[in-house]
Structure 1
Amino acid sequence: MGELARDQADELIWVLDERFDLINQLNKELLKEWTFSDVLLERHLWSRRQGAQSVGRGRSVEDEVENVASSLQLPYVMRTRFEGRGGETAPCDLAIPAGGPDAMIAVAIKGFNSTGSKLTDAVGEIERMATVRRPSQYVFVVVDGIGWLSRQADLKRIYNLWQSNQIDGLYTLSHLDVFKRELSTAATRLGFLNGSV
């Protein structure tokens, strides 16, 4: 397919247009006025398609994030608390290299395929992480799942933490490659890795 796209681009476009009405579909997408809800739904559907290709069925968001830490051969602890400023603590789903006062990287992993108050609780946990973190600590957040679509206000609260640099990264399953790269960079700066991915 790559050679066809490179060597016979016009023919490929013609075939795709004939079979799938490509030009009209692209024009519709370009002219559509996208809402925040539309974007979230598309992100979810895309991440599900990507996940089906790269990940076995039934694997949780937590499993995928743990696989990233494991693939980098980082020391970590799952489902713990980390200690930040003034000895205050916050929950985290993954801590590197350990929990408590030793945690230098804390990751919140929040995947929800249903709606409910657990989503609001998750946002509260993430806000707590942002509040107690020391300047020398990294806080990353991975969210995914259809449940977030009905909780746009909660999702915006997390997004605002990222935009205001209160957390260091916000990702979905479809962005695990970016998460891996940025986790590697943080771990390298902290001396847990010799080089970045």
Structure 2
Amino acid sequence: MIQLTRVGPDRFIAALDTVLAIYAAAMRPPPDQLPGRMAIMRNHATYPDFSCVLAEAPHIVGFAYGFHGTPGQWWHDVVRRALGERAGQQISEAWFGDALEIAEVHVHPDHQGGGVGRRMIHMLCEGRPERTAVLSTHDAPTAARHLYRDIGFADLMTRFVFPGGYEDYAIAGTALPLHPPVG
């Protein structure tokens, strides 16, 4: 049985080696990118209202985290500006003016497909004061993209390439609170 636990920055930082190993197993990035990803995750833990959900069985098999998006955060500024350029400042403000930014959602491949990711997203969003939740995901027909749509996330932008990147991403958002999970 996989248990979910909401944790704050201190417990997240203490579990960072394990979290990074799950990220690597799930995403399979080039190994030389992992130190930078660890630094990004450590920095995210300092952001306002950071919250993390760990999936444990009894060791950690998944994690999801997010925080309140504010100006001065790289992802927030880049995506908010791009949405403003594509859809107008009013729409950008509606989505990013008071948003929970879901930065990472990963489940170890040995535990995928059983609803762990869905449960983590619901727990992460539960009780949040923000008006919306936003995230980015590969702009492809992946299991993650299907999951986000199923939960209620709609595409705000597609075929978005981050500065310095080359892959297409979809930026998605949903109103909070989330609809209760089915089943």
Normalising by structure 2, we get a TM-score of 0.30
**Superposition TM-score, scaled by structure 1 size:** 0.29
Structure with the greater relative contact order (CA < 8 A, sep ≥ 6): 1 or 2? 2
The structure carrying a bigger helix percent of its residues is 1
Q: In proportion to residue count, which structure has more strand?
A: 2
